[in-house]
Chains A and B, each alone.
Chain A
Amino acid sequence: MRLFLSDYFVLYLSLAYFFALVPFLPTLSNPANLANVLSNMWPLLVVAIGQTFVLTIAGIDLSQGSVVGFTSVVAAMLLATTASPDVLSNAPIWGIILTEEGGPLGHTSFGIPLAILIMILVGAAIGAFNGFAIAQFQMPPFMVTLVTMIVISAFAIFLTQSENIRNLPEQYILLGKGDIVSIYLGAQDESRIPRREIYSLITYPMVIAISVAIVAHLLLNRTVFGKQVFAVGTNRKAAEISGVPVRRIIVLVFTISAVCATIGAILYSTRLEAGRPTLGEGNFLLDVIGATVIGGTSLFGGKGKIIWTVFGVFFFVLLSNTLNLMNLSSFHIDMVKGSVIVAAALLDVWRTRLMREMNA
């Protein structure tokens, strides 16, 4: 019972799942596979952390995927080192921002930090718009972010005419793919180390995602802002009467969500080495919201922890990975994922009731 209600429940569940499957799927514990699981986890984690804030105030942010796609294009059009007119000359940004010599920041020394700053500002602006519309006009988050999703993703596709922008600077791509510490587990006396046996251990995405997680954890649990986020999620009226700046909190929370999506955009677009207007489409939101809810954050607000989301994302990525290893088709994989999310939602209801019974 204690275990069931513990913060680490989902982690224990993941580990149990892992060890239960290892005998049947030996590849699962293969270092290369573990490195894959981790590398798939980081970008999703960053985006899911943003969603955690939003769910905690009983909101939902459907626009995260479109922010990922759009900001990846923003960075790429600023940073590209060259661009092909065959592909991109029909894009409205051609000749204005992007030329055959690449983007305006493609060849400058301060280009990457500046481009990242700009993309984060753009992301923040989208999030602030969401928050403002929700707080000021009392519109439902579902509606506002749905509209933002549609508009932003259409705008991203319009900007490049659905083309992807390649040729990003190496240093930028490093953020999504670079290893800091790699590990080789093969024999020591090999003259030529087979490259597929060198595994990433510590990578830039890992460092970025863990930093974001730590900052988010402190922000949500240890600051005035975090306490007020919970207050808005638990009882908005009571929070307002108690002097919580409810509107400001809502705007900030949606801004955080979009900024997290933007950082996610850096990781996703650099691992694919291109700014892609269609990044974050399709089932991406299912993954983000699913992983967050599996972690234990409630869709009804007032209940959320970053550590839960870390474990939720881990479980979710592990689940996808094992389903892949079982050679299931993508339709089956999505069906299983969907069922797991429903199960997690049920579990949440169940846990909440149990908690209340123990306290009530």
Chain B
Amino acid sequence: MSRQTQTLLGFDRLRKEYFGVPAVTDLVLDVPVGQVVGVIGENGAGKSTLMNMIGGVVPPTSGQMFWKGQAYAPRSPGDATMLGIAFIHQELNLFTNLTIAENIFVDGFPTRFGLIDRAEMRGKTQALLEQLSLDASPDTMVDHLAPGERQLVEIAKALHRDAELIIFDEPTTSLTPRETARLFETIERLKADHKTILYISHILSDVERLSDRIVVLRDGELVAEGPTDEFDIPRMITAMIGRELSGLFPKRSAKPRGETLLSVQGLSQPGVLDNVSFDIRAGEIFGLFGLMGSGRSEMARILFGLDPYAAGTVTLNGATLAGSVRDRIRAGMAFVTEDRRAEGLMMDASIMDNLSLVSIERFGRTPVALLDEKAIAAKTEALKSDIQIKAGSIAVQPVRSLSGGNQQKVVIGKWLINEPALFILDEPTRGVDVGAKYEIYALADRLAAAGNGILFISSELEEIAGVCDRVMVMNRGEVMGTFDAPPFVDTEILALAFGEQAKTREVSA
């Protein structure tokens, strides 16, 4: 056998079931040494479960794993680390209050005479950082590093532990284009050092560019596998979703109606928003684009009554809104937040409890009267099939066990029982795969067609352009301009977002 085809990690009929439902089905696969293997699949395809089994987080139900030909059955994440498996997650596992060097040596400080040998720590860290071309002192607090730099620290940590297999899980989510480019260079270099890489991403063009081989999972099964040259992006998509995708975005099914639903006038809060005004009509998907720090999410929070504002009025259905979140909900607002784990869901609670949370007060005549549990079950079950949440028993299964796309459907779904009029969707497709994205767009279209208004906030230009009826662009808390009708041109939107040609190219005010 030549070196290239030697197997580092192998799977033989590997299977994992939750509640009797298979998440990974009899997987047979070999990961060759020194190659970059791109792993793609929709959320819920079994990628996370597979990675959790490799990492020793969950044990397989049946089947076996092999590491360099030996049976491999990790009992804890520690076992995986010891063998030389490292994970670079989308959420980084660094201590932001420690220095780079301390983070790298956190699981075993070098000592001299019983004291931590800082000089050795610094020296070794310096060498690792140079290897990764990260120009920072080992004594820099991780807190002060940009997301891309933090990721390099994670990689340095993996190298320090002599990892042979490095698994990247959605590594580019929070990176700037330049940081992404640097990450790719690093991965090339790791490959040159005969490190084996598993690269998981939704960004198919990146996978195509980096990988030597591609593995496609769908519904827990291996549906396609082979050298990257045999795959182009359409084939990847077809393999992932199991059908031809007619387009990335659904066609709008109805035109916005004329009447104004939400009217925002002169909304200001020093340092956050400066005199923001806009209207959303019934049946309209109103896009809001802005870069980080443009005030897009801050405005959403202010509209929803979570944060204070100094001046301006918000009118919904002709009634001026004031007061708390509860008043806004009563007036017909719904808010799907940017961070669904932290602000949208009770991860360990059941799907039913999550779906009924917003409307729970409808099911008991008074706060202390007994709940109508049958009605709750009926309503939430209906909701589940209506918006097609893929889950077993919604009364038992915790939201944590759902894929990202299905979790997002729960976040949207929990508002629907109350039949609100205006939906604020902040980054509704973040961390969601291609197929589920399409479903969320379709859901937004359906809600709009029913006469609701939607404020669609996104930092993805493509989806803003593909889904919205109008697009407003913000920069530093100010409205830079609004595009009234498609086609929306990427470069024009971006130019406004960067604030380069403020107001002069305004399409309407």
Interface residues of A (CB under 8 A from B): 218-219, 222-225, 227-228, 230-231, 234-235, 237-245, 302-303, 356-360
Inter-subunit contact B342/A237 (CB<8 Å):
yes
Please tell me if the beta carbons of B58 and A360 are within 8 angstroms of each other in the complex: yes
Chain A residues positioned under 8 Å from B345 (CB to CB):
235, 238
Q: Compute how far the CA of A326 lies from the CA of B345 in the bound complex, rounded to whole angstroms.
A: 49
What distance in Å separates the Cβ of A318 from its nearest Cβ neighbour in chain B?
Answer: 30
Interface residues, chain B, with chain A CB atoms under 8 Å away: 18-19, 52, 58, 304, 306, 325-326, 329, 335, 337, 342-349, 353, 356-358, 360-361, 363-364, 366-371, 373, 397-398, 400-401, 414
Q: How far is the CB of B412 from chain A (nearest CB, A)?
A: 12
* A225, A235, A358 interface centre (most CB from chain B within 10 Å): A235
A235 near B370 with CB under 8 A, answer no
**Which of A218, A235, A357 interacts with B346 by CB under 8 Å?**
A235
Give CA–CA (A231, B401) in the complex, Å.
18
Question: How far in angstroms is the closest Cβ of chain B from A221?
Answer: 9
Known: A223-B368, A224-B369, A231-B353. 9 other contacts (CB 8 A): A224-B368, A227-B356, A230-B349, A234-B348, A240-B325, A241-B325, A243-B325, A243-B326, A303-B348
Q: Would A241 and B337 count as touching, CB distance under 8 A?
A: yes
- Contacts A224-B363, A235-B345 hold; do A242 and B19 have CB atoms under 8 A apart? no
Q: Which residue of B has the minimal Cβ distance to A215?
A: B368
Beta-carbon contact of A241 and B306 below 8 Å: yes
Query: Which residues of chain B have C-beta atoms less than 8 A from A227's C-beta?
Result: 353, 356-357, 360, 371
Question: Which of A242, A302, A359 makes the CB contact (< 8 A) with B358?
Answer: A242
Pairwise interchain contact A223-B369, C-beta atoms closer than 8 A: yes
Residues of B within 8 A of A223 (CB): 364, 367-371
Q: Kindly list chain A residues whose C-beta atoms are within 8 Å of the C-beta of B304.
A: 241
Q: What residues of B have a CB within 8 angstroms of the CB of A359 in the complex?
A: 18-19, 397-398, 400-401
CA distance A223 to B373 in the complex (A): 10
| 20 examples of A-B residue contacts, CB within 8 angstroms | A222-B373, A223-B367, A224-B368, A224-B369, A227-B371, A231-B349, A235-B343, A235-B346, A235-B347, A240-B325, A241-B304, A241-B306, A241-B335, A241-B344, A242-B358, A243-B358, A245-B326, A302-B346, A302-B349, A359-B397
Expressed in whole angstroms, the Cα–Cα distance for A218 and B368 within the complex equals 9
The residue of chain B having its C-beta at the shortest distance from the C-beta of A234 within the complex is B346
Most chain B beta-carbon contacts within 10 A, residue among A225, A230, A245: A225
| Cα separation A230 to B361 with both chains bound (whole Å) | 14
Residues of B contacting A230 in the complex (Cβ-Cβ under 8 angstroms): 346, 349, 353
Q: Are B325 and A218 in contact (CB under 8 A)?
A: no
CB of A57 to closest CB in B, whole Å: 13
**Would you give the shortest CB distance from A200 to chain B, in whole angstroms?**
33
Expressed in whole angstroms, the Cα–Cα distance for A232 and B211 within the complex equals 45
Bound complex: CA A276 to CA B357 (Å): 44
CA A136 – CA B370 in complex, angstroms?
Answer: 29
A358–B364 Cα gap in the complex (Å)? 32
Which partner residue on chain B sits nearest A248 by CB separation? Answer: B367
Closest partner residue, chain A, to B369 (CB atom): A223
- Inter-chain contacts of B397 with A (CB < 8 A): 359
Determine the distance from Cα of A227 to Cα of B380 in the docked complex, in whole angstroms.
Answer: 15
Report how far A235 CA is from B360 CA in the complex, Å: 16
CA of A225 to CA of B337 in the docked complex: distance in angstroms? 24
